[in-house]
Amino acid sequence: GETSVVPPCDDNDVLAAPKNSDDLAQCESSLLASDGDGTWIVRLSDPLSPPILAKLTLDDASWTWQILTKPSPDVPPPKGAYWGCISLPGEEESLVVGSSVVLRPAADVEVKGVILLPHGGPHTTSTAQFFASTRLFLEMGYAVILANYRGSLGFGRQLQMQLPGNVGRLDVRDCVAALESGMKKMDIDDALPKAIFGGSHGGFLGAHLVGQHADLFKAAILRNPVTNLVSMASTTDIPDWCCVEAFGKPADVEQQPSARMGDGSFPPSPEALARLHEVSPIAHVDNVKTPILLLLGSGDERVPVEQGLQYRRALAMRGQDVETYQYDGEGHSLAKPQTEFECLSHTIRFLDEKM
């Protein structure tokens, strides 16, 4: 196709907002460069609007923003669409376990369903930035919930470190809470169909959710999901991830020498293997009723393709509805343009069929 060159905006094209830290908190910003003398180049976006490149100048405690480039073609936000954030209460009234981003079509648009989208990692975070996939889901008439959970970054180390040793339990619980709170925040009927969309640890959560909450979701789209830590511990390029997330902090593992995983020794003991199975989604495969779409990269070293293929085989042996697409030469992110296009196309079709 043709390449479009976006010219810089003229000097008079200055943003009216954000003008202060409160306005800045309403979008996602990334610092790209600074001259060390009060001028910064930043990337700004929000869940409805593609990124812009802007220059920020701080002068006498006032902010001035100048747009340098805009998306081409410029894609205006959907008219009347809504986005906001929700806080998830913990077991103690004073504890907040995270904040999730919610997006809703305009009030005059009939909402077709809700898509829950937990991030991977698990120690990353969902922010109020633009993603083409979530914008597309919104245009299709779906509300979207970008779930943060215990273990996510940005909510303090105490909450981050609650997850190791509790994967498949606390993160699953928080995702259900995000779904319920998000639907309430957006005033969406609980009877509407729901889908789960996630990759890596987000796929791990999706597989756990359809196993632990068998009647909750009408569709699940899982990209390179972690499904069986027993086999992943000996095939992934990050076996320490399996150790820390399944058993807890390394100091805790050292108090369990029978686990034989804390120091990286191999093979794991029978006790360790039992624990790895216990926290894996495949432990709940007998309960799965939800149709599942698996999108896999054959060259994934982080979450080897056998994770998805094992899960597909287990589901197929139980007569469950499962589709699988495996992409040769693709790694963990499934990021080649053609692969990304095909994965999104399969996702759209699958949602239309199952929701």
Asked if residue 16 has pLDDT above 60, the reply is: no
Q: Among residues 201, 208, 213, 332, which one is catalytic?
A: 332
pLDDT given for residue 280 in this prediction:
98
Q: Across residues 121-145, what is the average pLDDT?
A: 92
Q: Which residues, 6+ apart, have CB-to-CB distance to 240 below 8 Å?
A: 264
* Lowest-confidence segment of 9-23, 53-67, 94-108, 333-347 by average pLDDT: 9-23
Q: Among residues 29, 49, 126, 200, which one is catalytic?
A: 200
Find the farthest-apart pair of alpha carbons in the chain and give their distance in angstroms, rounded: 69
| Sole residue written with tokens 């919104």 | 138
The encoded tokens of residue 233 equal: 């511990």
Q: Across residues 101-107, what is the average pLDDT?
A: 90
Asked if residue 163 has pLDDT above 80, the reply is: yes
The Cβ of residue 28 has, within 10 Å, a number of other Cβ atoms equal to: 17
| Sole residue written with tokens 């995000």 | 178
Q: How far is Cα 43 from Cα 10, in angstroms, rounded to an integer?
A: 18
By DSSP bridging, strand 113-118 and strand 219-223 are unpaired
Q: How far is Cα 221 from Cα 116, in angstroms, rounded to an integer?
A: 10
∠ CA 206-156-229 to the nearest 5 degrees? 35
* Lowest-confidence segment of 57-71, 92-106, 182-196, 205-219 by average pLDDT: 92-106
Q: How many residues does the chain have?
A: 355
pLDDT band (50, 70, 90) for residue 313: very high
pLDDT band (50, 70, 90) for residue 15: very low
CB 168 within 8 A of CB 201: no
Q: Among residues 46, 171, 174, 300, which one is catalytic?
A: 300
Residue type, 330: E
Strand ordering across the sheet containing 142-147? 82-89, 96-104, 142-147, 113-118, 194-199, 219-223, 292-297, 322-327
pLDDT given for residue 255 in this prediction:
44
**Residue 62 exposed, middle or buried by CB count within 10 Å (0-12, 13-18, 19+):** exposed
pLDDT given for residue 26 in this prediction:
63
Q: Across residues 157-169, what is the average pLDDT?
A: 92
Q: Across residues 315-342, what is the average pLDDT?
A: 96
Q: What is the 3-state secondary structure (H, E, C) of 178-223?
A: HHHHHHHHCCCCCCCCEEEEEECHHHHHHHHHHHHCCCCCCEEEEE
∠ CA 213-281-101 to the nearest 5 degrees? 60
Asked if residue 11 has pLDDT above 90, the reply is: no
Strand ordering across the sheet containing 28-34? 28-34, 39-46, 49-59, 62-69
pLDDT given for residue 200 in this prediction:
98
Mind listing the pLDDT tens digit for each residue in 274-296? 999 999 999 999 999 999 999 99
Task: Catalogue the E-assigned strands of the chain.
Answer: 28-34, 39-46, 49-59, 62-69, 82-89, 96-104, 113-118, 142-147, 194-199, 219-223, 292-297, 322-327
Mind listing the pLDDT tens digit for each residue in 83-92? 888 887 655 4
Coil, strand or helix: which one is 272?
helix
Q: Where are the alpha helices (DSSP H) in 77-169?
A: 132-139, 157-160
For the chain, the average pLDDT equals: 85
Asked if residue 3 has pLDDT above 90, the reply is: no
Active site residue 60: no
Active site residue 300: yes
Question: Among candidates 251, 262, 307, 317, which has minimal Cα distance to 286?
Answer: 317
Name the range with the highest mean pLDDT among 23-27, 239-243, 273-277, 346-350. Answer: 346-350
Q: How far is Cα 185 from Cα 192, in angstroms, rounded to an integer?
A: 15
Asked if residue 164 has pLDDT above 90, the reply is: yes
Coil, strand or helix: which one is 104?
strand
Asked if residue 258 has pLDDT above 60, the reply is: no
Asked if residue 5 has pLDDT above 60, the reply is: no
pLDDT band (50, 70, 90) for residue 14: very low
